[in-house]
Amino acid sequence: MKILANDGMSKSGIEALKNAGMNIITDKVPQENLIQYINENQIDVILVRSATKVRKDIIDACQSIKIIGRGGVGMDNIDVEYARSKGIKVINTPGASSHSVAELVFAHFFGMARFLNDSNRNMPLEGETNFNGLKKNYEKGIELRGKTIGIVGFGRIGQATAKIALGLGMRVLTYDKFDTPNQIEVEFFDGQKLTFGVEKVSMEEILKASDMISLHVPAQDGYVIGEKELDMMKTDAMLVNASRGGVVDEIALLKALEAGKLRAAALDVFEKEPTPDVQILMNPNLSLSPHIGAATLEAQDRIGTELAEQIVELAKTF
């Protein structure tokens, strides 16, 4: 089979596919040239991450495609049901990056709790001339231990986030539209496992009771966090969105930050990705990262390996 990994693939995944006798291409083909490239090269499998979109136009125009693979969880950049209606297999790796995303969430929470997002900007500028002034500015940090975290969306990534929170000694509240676990098993370095209960509550209680809120929901119509929801949150709370751009009303978020309603917020994804608004990028109360939730070496290895395993198995059916 001829495979185009248009958004890249880990070395482990590439090697696994080559060892199975498959031809893998890792050239980056611009979106507007994809149809021509796929047809000219008779591509059987296209693998993408968040950058490349596989919509109805590609599905209809490229008759050679047998498998569409998404490295990661969300598949909102693929017309999944339409592809499947045409007999195309659509696969992803829902569990491979869960812990990587959860760790990024807490990287943001820890940074905001101690003003690192702002001090990292100002120390290079003022550290030599205003050290004591900056020290005073950032002296009111907080600990995460003993705080309440509200997790909105309690799938694999939400559960990985809960495990870290429990390890830190936090109270965990969860909300999901679907049935989700009320117990989480946390595994430690030496193989020991402990089971902890988590509280399943309403969205309103998440907003009112949480010191920190982390979003783990798919792209959808309308905002999950808008002006109404921000108004319900505790004063001095923190918010992290490492799920999908567009689930947080960024204008309402800026207003809440400027009014002192929230302590800080963090965004790994953006409404206007990959060109976020300048006022988002420049706000000192925002901790920002460029959609890197799954971008760890470990997660990329798992993603590549899992995609390769699925492709090798599916190839046996063609």
**Residues noted as catalytic:** 244, 273, 291
Under a CB-based contact definition with an 8 Å cutoff, are residues 100 and 303 in contact?
no
Query: What does the alpha-carbon distance between residue 311 and residue 313 come to, in Å, rounded to a whole number?
Result: 5
DSSP string, 44-61: SEEEE-SSS-B-HHHHHH
- Residue 286 identity: L
- Pairing verdict, β 148-152 and 89-92: unpaired
| Bond into 276 cis (ω within 30) | no
Q: Specify the 3-state DSSP secondary structure of 299.
A: helix
* Residue 233 DSSP symbol: S
Give the residue among 201, 202, 217, 256 at the shortest CA–CA distance from 234: 256
d(CA 9, CA 300): 7
**Closest among 138, 111, 100 to 294, alpha carbons compared:** 100
How far apart, in whole angstroms, are the C-alpha atoms of residue 223 and residue 76? Answer: 16
Residue found by looking up tokens 């990329």 in the block: 300
| Residue whose C-alpha is closest to residue 188's, from 165, 168, 167, 157 | 167
DSSP state of 316: T
Taking the C-alpha atoms of residue 229 and residue 288, their distance in angstroms, rounded to an integer, is 21
